[in-house]
Amino acid sequence: MIRCLRAASLAFFLALSSTALSIAADPADEAAYKAAFAAMQADPGNSDKALAYAEAAIKVGNLEGAIGALERLLIFNPDLPQIRVELGVLYYRLGSYDLSRSYLAQLADREDVPDDVRAKVKEYLAQIDQLSSPHRVTGGLVTGFRYQTDANYGPGGSSLRILGLDFPIATNVAKKGDTNFFGLGTVNYVYDFQQADPLTIEANLTTYGQKQFRQTQLDLSLTQFDVGPRIGLPMLLEGSSVRPYIIGDYLSLGGSSFMSSYGGGINGVAPMMDRLAILANFEIQNRQYDTDPARPRIEDLTGDYIAVRLEPRYAVADNQLIGFTNEFDRTLAVQGYQRSTQVILGPNYQIRFASPLEQTGLVRAWTGSVGFDHIWRYYGTPDVLIDPANTRRDSQYDLGGTLEIPVVDGMSTLLQLQQTWANSNIPNYKYTNLLGMVAVSLKF
């Protein structure tokens, strides 16, 4: 039943998390930057040329150069509120919060500053106060409705195999569509030791629940907690880090206890160049499945679970990201017919684009993503109650897309569509499933 969470995860991680990449400047911006620098050098006292250089420097990511040009302007004219605002924002982007505050605090109560600028200044000051603290708490919630054409993963064919013989599918196991209401939330706590070499403690609490309209045996709730330090490795690669962690899960299904687990792992991120980063994760868990008369033999799944994931991400432009999932999982269940090896391979693409509905007030940029996975599963031994002569082999394809439409700051609408084709040498495990979702995402 862990696979029931895969569809929710796509929307959840799109809404609540992202991995930043440093983007190389556009060649046209580089040329404009060099021209603006030459013009300023030729006429250093010209404020218009200094401002043009600062603007060009920001576009190519040279924030220090922009700061230098703007600070020179203040030497000649100290009373330029807009320049002080720009300097405060630039120092904020560099993480120099004390210097940012020194510029912005002077403007918070000045009457000659426009109301919208003053409001922005106070917003930045509030964020600086939060970021300057060693304690940070963030999180979010995704909640909405999801429909699936095969909510119970019932066989899509006309037969069901038992003891190696094929029988007509019984009504209680046939494919059934259903809708559920779900909620998926996270709270993230970070304690920053505020050292020169980055070092933090991160703790994450994730909860998920779904309530089916008809197939109530699939009502599900999950609670997961993990904690561990994140250790920056700037001496090896600027922006890289590793995080060892411990993790625990509790899952209930149909109103009764289903599975609990504990374990640990390590994940890391390594920006290899301006546009490329590598994300990696290794995790091992011990999973305990509870005996349940409604789910015969489910306890045969008890055992260790190992997962290795590697995902390169490449920024093809400042608003587009492509990635490729490479995952290897091993389920070491106590019974051979439940032991399995799983391999997942597939590309994904994400783009951020201007709202096509600006005239309606939805002016914030939209984010769209599309992904395709091919999943192979190989089991250890035949299941003698299903087919004593054949060992199960599965091949699954998932194709899906998600659209995030920001409504106001911290609130978005999410739309998702995903098609699954599951093939197997055992007819019991062949099915197709079309999933559609409408949800609201809230972030804090």
Query: pLDDT digit string (tens) for 93-121?
Result: 887 877 888 888 877 777 777 777 777 88
Say if residue 227 is in the same domain as residue 316.
Answer: yes
Q: What is the DSSP letter of 111?
A: T
Say if residue 413 is in the same domain as residue 271.
Answer: yes
Say if residue 282 is in the same domain as residue 319.
Answer: yes
Is residue 20 in a domain? no
* Residue 332 belongs to domain spanning: 2-14+134-443
Residue 417 or 70, more confident: 417
Task: Encode pLDDT of 251-302 as tens digits.
Answer: 999 999 999 999 999 999 999 888 899 999 999 999 999 998 889 999 999 9
Share of the chain above pLDDT 90, in %: 58
- Predicted local distance difference test score (pLDDT) of residue 8: 41
- Predicted local distance difference test score (pLDDT) of residue 194: 79
From 23-37, 55-69, 183-197, 205-219, the region with the lowest mean pLDDT: 23-37
Q: Is the pLDDT of residue 23 over 50?
A: no
Say if residue 167 is in the same domain as residue 110.
Answer: no
Task: Encode pLDDT of 142-155 as tens digits.
Answer: 999 999 999 999 99
Is residue 22 in a domain? no
Say if residue 245 is in the same domain as residue 103.
Answer: no
Residues 423-427: contacts with CB under 8 Å, at least 24 apart: 423/394, 423/395, 423/396, 424/392, 424/393, 424/394, 424/395, 425/390, 425/392, 425/393, 426/161, 426/386, 426/387, 426/390, 426/392, 427/155, 427/157, 427/159, 427/160, 427/161, 427/166
Residue with tokens 């959840």: 12
Is residue 116 in a domain? yes
Is residue 198 in a domain? yes
- Predicted local distance difference test score (pLDDT) of residue 19: 39
Residue 442 three-state SS: strand
26 band by pLDDT with thresholds 50, 70 and 90 = low
Is residue 19 in a domain? no
Is residue 21 in a domain? no
Residue ending a domain, choose from 132, 149, 176: 132
Residue ending a domain, choose from 132, 162, 180: 132
Give the chain's domain count.
Answer: 2
CATH number at residue 90: 1.25.40.10
Mean pLDDT of all residues in 348-377: 93
Is residue 364 in a domain? yes
Say if residue 141 is in the same domain as residue 124.
Answer: no
Q: Is the pLDDT of residue 426 over 50?
A: yes
Mean pLDDT of all residues in 369-391: 97
Residue 217 has φ and ψ, to the nearest 5°, of: -65, -10
Residue ending a domain, choose from 117, 132, 147: 132
Mean pLDDT of all residues in 196-210: 94
From CA 153, how far away is CA 431, in angstroms rounded?
7
From 37-46, 181-190, 420-429, the region with the lowest mean pLDDT: 37-46
From 53-57, 224-228, 310-314, the region with the lowest mean pLDDT: 53-57
- Predicted local distance difference test score (pLDDT) of residue 109: 72
Mean pLDDT of all residues in 117-138: 80
From CA 424, how far away is CA 429, in angstroms rounded?
6
Residue 56 has φ and ψ, to the nearest 5°, of: -65, -40
CA angle, 17 then 18 then 24, to 5° = 165
Q: Which tokens go with 95?
A: 């993480």
Share of the chain above pLDDT 70, in %: 94
Task: Encode pLDDT of 7-21 as tens digits.
Answer: 444 334 334 444 334
Say if residue 363 is in the same domain as residue 408.
Answer: yes
